[in-house]
Amino acid sequence: MINVYYTLNINEKSGPYTHAQLMDMNITTDTFIMSPLNENWQRAAELPEFYIYFETQGIYIPTRTNVASFWWRLLAYLIDYVLLIIFMAIIGEY
């Protein structure tokens, strides 16, 4: 069986499960899973094939594609700072 996964529950290995079966089991980001491509236990959040599943659950795993770079974050900080100064100047006049 090539696409089988195993889970680890209280030091007890269970499975094999397919990807669809694991998603039906409502796994969490901290569920330990052995994927077909790796022989070590990994948290489900570390396996890219579960990213879409977690996004549908409202859990977003930080990756390079969904996190702003340093420069975008710095720009956002500066814009917020300028807007706050303007807002405080307007409020301070009253």
Predicted local distance difference test score (pLDDT) of residue 4: 86
C-beta of residue 45 within 8 angstroms of C-beta of residue 30: yes
61 contacts: CB under 8 Å, gap ≥ 6: 29, 45, 51, 54
pLDDT tens-digit readout, 71-94: 999 999 999 999 999 999 998 876
Listed as ranges, residues in the chain with pLDDT below 70 are 1-2, 94
pLDDT value of residue 2: 64
Which residues, at least 6 apart from 90, have a Cβ–Cβ distance to it below 8 Å?
A: none
Mode of pairing for the β-strands spanning 12-17 and 5-9:
antiparallel
Q: Where are the domains of the chain?
A: 5-56, 62-94
